[in-house]
A and B are shown apart, each in its own frame.
Chain A
Amino acid sequence: MRRALPILVVLAVLLAAIAIVNPFFIEPAGFLSFVRRAAPLVILAAGQYLVIVAGEFDLSVGSLVTVEVVVAARLIDGDEAATWPVLALLIVLGLVVGLVNGAVTTLLRVPSFITTLGMMLVLSGAVFLWTGGAPRGALSQAFRMFGRQTGWAVLILVVVAVAAVVLMRANFGRTLIAVGDNERAAALSGVRVTRVRIIAFTLSGLSAAVAGILLGGFAGVSAQVGQGLEFQAITAVVLGGVVLGGGRGTVVAAMAGAFTLEALFTLLNLYGVSGALKFTVQGVILIAAVAAGAIRLPFLDAPKVKGDAHAVS
């Protein structure tokens, strides 16, 4: 929790700033609607965290979200009865895409940056081919409930967040971080490095499926629904102080990073800053956060005494 502190402070400041401009924000309804809006990104960030902390990337989640929504609309096509089977199928789809990413990265030794970039293009192309640019069909009322009704969205978010925290405290999570920190030492301690990494990718795929389900209801059906989400998720994770290259940072901080990013977008919106600036802001944050991490390191690596003092605090 100590490591998540800086980002929690930043988040608190931003939330306060929003509240000053828009008092409705601190009322339960206002705040929960913010949480609902942030939920897909927070869930994606949790998935992305698992991959990044193991020293990898997942660039395919944005396209995967789009695929999930487009497939859902086409298969359900307004048929309420189809809701639950299609939901199950979407979850499986997410898991399979993640599994493929993981298997290609670890077994074929393709760097994950390339694997998931390739997957992003493959999925984007498939959506375009299948829809011809304009998605057809419609989601059912039951499906849209998850993203629309604040209660559902918040509940799903809480479940995912708790699951992520528990997972990171369990054997799997601890060995995952060890793999990201020192793969060789982990392997020589009996960790199944390949398996652990594949699971991380698979869970990232799952998070994209869940985020897609929420976004479908919230934002509706379009071929652009997931666009740029992979970069938002990575920015959120990095903003949470999770180090690219692996082995450092907590999932709580990564999720807090997602909330912070969403809060920042909200604030910019309130101040009437153009939505077009979203990407620019993200880019600046991404570079600044990584640079800040790099600058901090020498101090931490410095004399042992200082390290001890740091641990006491």
Chain B
Amino acid sequence: MLTMTGIGKSFFGVRVLSGVDLAVAPGEVHAIVGENGAGKSTLMKILAGVHQHDEGTIEIDGRRVSFGHPLDAQRAGVAIIYQEFNLLPERTVSENVFLGREPIRRGLVDRTAMDTATARLLAELGEDSFGPRQPVKRLSVAQQQVVEIVKALSLDARIVVMDEPTAALAEHEVELLYRLVRRLQERGIAVLYISHRLREVFDLSDHVTVIKDGRLVTTVATEDVTSEDLVRLMVGRDLNGYFPPRSTSVGETRLQVTGGGTDRLHDIDLKLNAGEIVGIAGLQGSGRSELAKALFGAEPFTRGEMTPVRPRSVRQAIRAGIGLVTEDRKSEGLALRQSVRDNALLVTRAIGRGARRSGVRDLLERVRLTPPREEQEVRYLSGGNQQKVVLAKWMTVAPKVLLFDEPTRGVDVGAKAAIHDLMRELAEDGMAIMMISSELPELIGMSDRIVVLREGRIAGTLPAGSSEEAIMSLAAGEVSA
């Protein structure tokens, strides 16, 4: 029914997909798996007409198609259900289902027709917990997912793409989703199911396609593989690249959490020691950033013990010697229109202690900012240099614990090595460092210990130099074969 052949795509000269093939039959559930950033979402967005492919062909029912716009894909029977729903919260279920193509009778919107059609589709899906006239904002995430599916059905979609559909669902809601997927299957609809969670892949899919670094690894019948096989196919690349040597001496404990929890995190037991870099691994939505924000007091823990203090605010954390290099430096780390100097001194000025203005130059040299021009507005700096300014910002107050969330994302290779060296240097000077990263080689190359998160809990702790397979198994919640 759907055949994609040799799909390739580049963004601004960076190749994100090349030579990917995919074939799906009616009534098939086809899982697509791969690490964060492997190219799964890009592939699906090409299918949905959001992005246009540079190479390859797409055929539906043997007819070659080309989607210049999401509407083209919609007309060809492709529906995509994103992690973030595209629903209007203030409107009713049926208004959302028929948004932009409301049935008109005598110049007015025919609400009765809309409600009847929606009610029929809801009934077909076996959904009786809400009706067509309910405002969407009153629905749970799982129910909103149903609305998205009803919308897809009302568009006569024959291919439904679900992007991480369980990421936002509670445990008991996952069962409902399974039921829904099977109903779609019965109607002869092909479902493309993107998920990190291997259990779902094995529960639902007929075939599974593995993508790694933008390339097709393989497509296999799900019953022919084990979860170990899948993990091996998803990762397993050579550890290339240089990393500084590991720590030689681990000092006293700088930060400790026992039984820490928020609404997204549960039973967090974690210890960060002087001189050590602790890597945090986990899939998207596993609670990695939430952990950093909790330790930093930005989204504080509501349960559990923490020393030196369980911060209730960012200021309290900073005063206790905890710093956070945020994941998104442009929106959370820097005031882009201010100078390098003003950014470097922001924390000092905010809490009224730390390095003086005259000390900034030395710090900028220490973080290897090139050139160390203090007057430059940070928005003109490269990603790597911006990250160095963020580092300098924290070094002004000499924190005891520094948390890094994706420290080298969007940073070029040279700056990456400089940042890695610097992190190790800081650890050697007695700082306790925690590093969240989606890049397994970075985690393995840098960490003295790797803590793996899964669904808001610590799934396990691995020693330095563990394999990518070991990390992915823990992170994906491998089912025992």
- A binding-site residues for B, Cβ under 8 Å: 171, 174-175, 177-178, 181-182, 184-192, 247-248, 301, 304, 307-308, 311
**A177 adjacent to B342 (CB under 8 Å):** yes
Instruction: State the Cβ distance, A56 to closest chain B Cβ, in Å.
Output: 16
**B336 adjacent to A175 (CB under 8 Å):** no
Instruction: Say yes or no: A181-B332 contact (C-beta < 8 A), given A175-B346, A190-B314.
Output: no
Report the separation of the CA atoms of residues A301 and B337 in the bound assembly, to the nearest whole angstrom. 10
Instruction: State the Cβ distance, A126 to closest chain B Cβ, in Å.
Output: 38
Residues of the B chain whose Cβ atoms lie less than 8 Å from the Cβ of A177: 335, 338, 342
B380 interfacial contact with A, CB 8 Å? yes
How many residues of B are counted as interface, with CB atoms below 8 angstroms from the partner's CB atoms?
Answer: 32
Report the separation of the CA atoms of residues A248 and B377 in the bound assembly, to the nearest whole angstrom. 11
**A190 adjacent to B335 (CB under 8 Å):** no
Residues of the B chain whose Cβ atoms lie less than 8 Å from the Cβ of A307: 377, 379-380
B282-311 interface with A by 8 A CB criterion: 296, 298
B78 interfacial contact with A, CB 8 Å? no
Instruction: State the Cβ distance, A92 to closest chain B Cβ, in Å.
Output: 27
Residues of the A chain whose Cβ atoms lie less than 8 Å from the Cβ of B314: 187-190
Instruction: Say yes or no: A191-B350 contact (C-beta < 8 A), given A177-B342, A185-B334, A247-B338.
Output: yes
**A174 adjacent to B337 (CB under 8 Å):** no
Report the separation of the CA atoms of residues A185 and B324 in the bound assembly, to the nearest whole angstrom. 11
Report the separation of the CA atoms of residues A188 and B333 in the bound assembly, to the nearest whole angstrom. 7
In the complex, 18 of the A-B residue pairs with CB atoms within 8 angstroms, ordered by the A residue number, are A175-B350, A177-B335, A182-B336, A185-B332, A185-B334, A188-B333, A189-B346, A190-B314, A190-B315, A190-B351, A191-B350, A247-B335, A247-B337, A304-B380, A307-B380, A308-B380, A311-B375, A311-B380
**B376 adjacent to A186 (CB under 8 Å):** no
**B376 adjacent to A181 (CB under 8 Å):** no
Given A185-B333, A191-B349, output 11 extra A-B contacts at Cβ < 8 Å: A181-B337, A182-B334, A182-B336, A188-B298, A188-B326, A189-B347, A190-B318, A192-B315, A247-B337, A308-B376, A308-B380
Closest to B317 in A: A190
Report the separation of the CA atoms of residues A108 and B157 in the bound assembly, to the nearest whole angstrom. 46
B249 interfacial contact with A, CB 8 Å? no
Closest to A311 in B: B376
Residues of the B chain whose Cβ atoms lie less than 8 Å from the Cβ of A248: 337
Report the separation of the CA atoms of residues A174 and B345 in the bound assembly, to the nearest whole angstrom. 9
**B350 adjacent to A181 (CB under 8 Å):** no
Report the separation of the CA atoms of residues A248 and B337 in the bound assembly, to the nearest whole angstrom. 7
Instruction: State the Cβ distance, B406 to closest chain A Cβ, in Å.
Output: 15
**A182 adjacent to B349 (CB under 8 Å):** no
Report the separation of the CA atoms of residues A184 and B314 in the bound assembly, to the nearest whole angstrom. 12
4 nearest CB pairs, A to B: A307-B380, A181-B335, A190-B350, A171-B349
Instruction: Say yes or no: A178-B347 contact (C-beta < 8 A), given A171-B352, A190-B314, A311-B377.
Output: no
**A192 adjacent to B373 (CB under 8 Å):** no
Closest to A308 in B: B380
Instruction: State the Cβ distance, A279 to closest chain B Cβ, in Å.
Output: 32
In the complex, which of the residues A178, A184, A191, A301 contacts B331, with contact meaning CB atoms closer than 8 Å?
A184
Closest to B376 in A: A311
Residues of the B chain whose Cβ atoms lie less than 8 Å from the Cβ of A182: 331, 334-336
Instruction: State the Cβ distance, A175 to closest chain B Cβ, in Å.
Output: 5
